[in-house]
Chain A
Amino acid sequence: MWDELQFASALIVSGLSIGLMYSLIALGFVLVYKATDAINFAQGEFVMLAGFVAALMLAPKMPVLVAIGAAVAVMVAFSFALERIVLRPLIGRPIIAVIMATIGLGAMLRGLPPITVGGETRAVSLNIGDMPIGFGSISLPPVQILGVIVTLAFFGLFTWFFLRSRMGIAMRAVADNQQVAMAMGINVERYFALAWAMAGTVSALGGVIWGSMLGVDVHLALVGLKVFPVVILGGLDSVAGAVIGGLIVGVVESLAAGYIDPYVGGGTKDFAPYVLMIITLMFKPYGIFGTHRVERV
């Protein structure tokens, strides 16, 4: 009995910490969707790209902070360029155009590393050790604890930003109604760029943390597949939803892997979140915190 409980609580804690790290990636998706209505199917590839930048910077023994700074800088620049060159011409076009453009972008990003820098798996070592840190009977690797701290920090920052800061309020206005925001003197294009820059920053840190956990290669992009259950559960345009959704997805997949895997022979981890997502779509399509859209004919 005691063993059972301990097993379950270990699963739940590791699920919660992994879940928060999913939230970190999902935050990038939500920020962009919230502010610009654009859908980023290449979020996983963003994370991968950031991981590659960090790994390449760390290879010649650069300080960790420089590598993280470089990853952030590259991702912000990349997001700016993406918004300017690809997404701006697609404004006002059917939703499938943006979806396909980001899918195409994802394919490009996955194809580039093996051609340019080589496809082998690289390590991102953050110099924080890899001895699990224990709390009573439960222990977590330090990188997961770092991930939890970073996600919670970003969550606090974004909550403050959207509720209190002038720019955050302006960005909410842009998200709500672009034309009215424009009429109120808000530079909509600047806020689009800002939203992408924020998403780039989040993805960069996600890339560093996930990269140091899984190692950086093309398969790191698969993390992006977890973004969709997270954002659907939480609601596509809710920062809090991304965090809550991430926690739920993390726990569900951890429990599924712990209890169902032995019977079906593995793979439940990638499968359970999507079943959960389908159920959400059937009964509460806008998620826990998402805004209902009213459509005019």
Chain B
Amino acid sequence: MLQRESGVYKTSYAADMALFPLPIARWTMAAIVLLFAVVLPLSLHEYYLSIINLALIAVVGALGLNMLVGYTGQISVGHAAFMSVGAYTAANLAVKFDLPFWITLPAGGLMAALIGAIVGIPSLRIKGLYLAIATLAAQLIIEWVINHTPAISGGAQASIQVPRPTLWGHELKTQGQLYFFLLFFAALAILAALNLARSRIGRAFVAIRDQDIAAEIIGIDIYRYKLLSFAISSFYAGVCGVLYTYYLGIANYEQFQIGVSIDYLAMIIIGGLGSVLGSVLGAAFVTMLPIVIRLVMEPLAGLFFSAGELSSVVASTRLVVFGALIISFLVVEPEGLNRLWRNIRNYFRVWPFSY
């Protein structure tokens, strides 16, 4: 990630696709792991850890959406609905059957994958705009069904209280404990995504994105891979929903409305479509954004608005900044933060002798 190679010396595909292109990459990776596993939790205050926790949850969801939108090129506006499927599955299993998280978490993911694959079926016939609208419908329908089925949601507008995850008999209660819990799953999700992207499946996804008819002609079973992409993406979404539910301690449909789907789309656009690093950067960026806006706005907005209006003004400012960011990234830097990071790296690759 941080290494500066002096040129391209790769002679085989295996070398080109390796996770660690140079020996030194292992050391930088070890340093990053050390930073996240030891230095940050020891040095940061609870409040900052809680922000990182939210970002870690978002990383899982963003990776899933990027798998579908960035790698496979199928647009989904219903990511939050798949998160809610995972969240409610896990919440019901945890409350009604008293199951531990290591069963509810994969169960939530699998349930979301199943629903996601069903929602993906129209993608066999339609694409682009039509698919976007179909997934929008899925978002609204899933939201409505969950909210109107008391057996799932515990009644309209209700929320389900979920017990804290326990590990070897210990309840994970503080932000610090939850941090390790979430870090583990986020790291697992990143590793799985990195490997998936360079596998046969990931290549098939990219081929479908670039031209699905051409991909079919060269022998990729596009129906299978499109459904697989929906299933994998929804699995990630479901896991993300489960993690969020455990983090908050409640499952509530309001956490999974269409605005959240758009937040996740914004993450992968800002981070960079079709890139694992981009998903991570985008998730972190979009999670931090409202916090930064609140920090900036609170002293400023006090001059113009009354205290009662403040929260709605901050929320609205977030929407405006958000929209402006999406548009400016799309117009100016379509490949997102990932590309900016690459540009910086390329600049320093031969620094200080740039020519």
Query: What residues of B have a CB within 8 angstroms of the CB of A229 in the complex?
Result: 137
Partner of B140, one of A94, A105, A114, A274: A274
A270, B144: Cβ atoms closer than 8 Å: yes
Given contacts A108-B319, A275-B141, contact A96 B324 (CB under 8 A): no
Partner of B312, one of A94, A104, A114: A114
Interface string of B83-125 (1 = CB under 8 A from A): 0000000000000000000000000000000000000001001
Query: What residues of B have a CB within 8 angstroms of the CB of A106 in the complex?
Result: 323
> Can you name 27 A-B residue pairings with CB atoms under 8 Å?
A86-B331, A96-B75, A97-B330, A97-B334, A99-B75, A99-B132, A101-B326, A101-B330, A103-B326, A104-B323, A106-B323, A107-B326, A108-B320, A108-B322, A108-B323, A110-B316, A112-B316, A115-B320, A225-B140, A267-B144, A271-B144, A274-B137, A274-B141, A275-B137, A278-B122, A281-B130, A285-B130
**Shortest Cβ distance from B138 into chain A, in angstroms?**
8
Is A72 interfacial (CB-CB < 8 Å)? no
Which residue in chain B gives the minimum CB-CB distance to A107?
A: B323
Which residue in chain B gives the minimum CB-CB distance to A42?
A: B323
Is B134 interfacial (CB-CB < 8 Å)? yes
Interface residues on B, range: 35 or more
Considering the complex, which residues of chain B in the window 302-320 have a beta carbon less than 8 Å from any beta carbon of chain A?
309, 312-313, 315-320
A285, B125: Cβ atoms closer than 8 Å: yes
Interface string of A82-124 (1 = CB under 8 A from B): 0000100110011111011101111111111111000100000
A111, B316: Cβ atoms closer than 8 Å: yes
A265, B148: Cβ atoms closer than 8 Å: yes
B133, A104: Cβ atoms closer than 8 Å: no
The 5 A-B residue pairs with the shortest CB-CB distance, nearest first, are A111-B319, A104-B326, A108-B323, A107-B323, A111-B320
Query: What residues of B have a CB within 8 angstroms of the CB of A112 in the complex?
Result: 316, 320
Is B213 interfacial (CB-CB < 8 Å)? yes
Which residue in chain A gives the minimum CB-CB distance to B216?
A: A297
Considering the complex, which residues of chain A in the window 270-297 have a beta carbon less than 8 Å from any beta carbon of chain B?
270-271, 274-275, 277-278, 281-282, 285, 295, 297
Considering the complex, which residues of chain B in the window 163-222 have a beta carbon less than 8 Å from any beta carbon of chain A?
211, 213-214, 217
Is B69 interfacial (CB-CB < 8 Å)? yes
Query: What residues of A have a CB within 8 angstroms of the CB of B271 in the complex?
Result: none
A278, B141: Cβ atoms closer than 8 Å: yes
Which residue in chain B gives the minimum CB-CB distance to A278?
A: B137
Given contacts A282-B122, A297-B214, contact A119 B316 (CB under 8 A): yes
**In whole angstroms, what is the CA distance A101 to B132 when docked?**
14
Query: What residues of A have a CB within 8 angstroms of the CB of B318 in the complex?
Result: 111
Which residue in chain B gives the minimum CB-CB distance to A45?
A: B323
Partner of B126, one of A104, A271, A285: A285
Which residue in chain B gives the minimum CB-CB distance to A33?
A: B129
Query: What residues of B have a CB within 8 angstroms of the CB of A236 in the complex?
Result: 129
Is A174 interfacial (CB-CB < 8 Å)? no
Is B278 interfacial (CB-CB < 8 Å)? no
Which residue in chain A gives the minimum CB-CB distance to B144?
A: A271
Interface residues of chain A, those whose CB is within 8 Å of chain B, are 39, 86, 89-90, 93-97, 99-101, 103-115, 119, 225, 228-229, 232, 236, 264-265, 267, 270-271, 274-275, 277-278, 281-282, 285, 295, 297
A111, B323: Cβ atoms closer than 8 Å: yes
Partner of B266, one of A104, A114, A267: A104
**In whole angstroms, what is the CA distance A297 to B269 when docked?**
26
**Shortest Cβ distance from A196 into chain B, in angstroms?**
16
**In whole angstroms, what is the CA distance A104 to B273 when docked?**
16
Query: What residues of A have a CB within 8 angstroms of the CB of B122 in the complex?
Result: 278, 281-282, 285
B326, A111: Cβ atoms closer than 8 Å: no
**In whole angstroms, what is the CA distance A50 to B99 when docked?**
52
Is B73 interfacial (CB-CB < 8 Å)? yes
Which residue in chain A gives the minimum CB-CB distance to B262?
A: A103
**Shortest Cβ distance from B192 into chain A, in angstroms?**
24
Most B CB contacts (10 A, CB to CB) among A104, A111, A265, A285 go to A104
**In whole angstroms, what is the CA distance A240 to B313 when docked?**
41
A277, B137: Cβ atoms closer than 8 Å: yes
**In whole angstroms, what is the CA distance A247 to B293 when docked?**
44
Query: What residues of B have a CB within 8 angstroms of the CB of A100 in the complex?
Result: 265-266, 269, 326, 330
B323, A114: Cβ atoms closer than 8 Å: no
Which residue in chain B gives the minimum CB-CB distance to A236?
A: B129
**In whole angstroms, what is the CA distance A236 to B309 when docked?**
40
Is B136 interfacial (CB-CB < 8 Å)? yes
Most B CB contacts (10 A, CB to CB) among A39, A107, A225 go to A107
Query: What residues of B have a CB within 8 angstroms of the CB of A105 in the complex?
Result: 323, 327
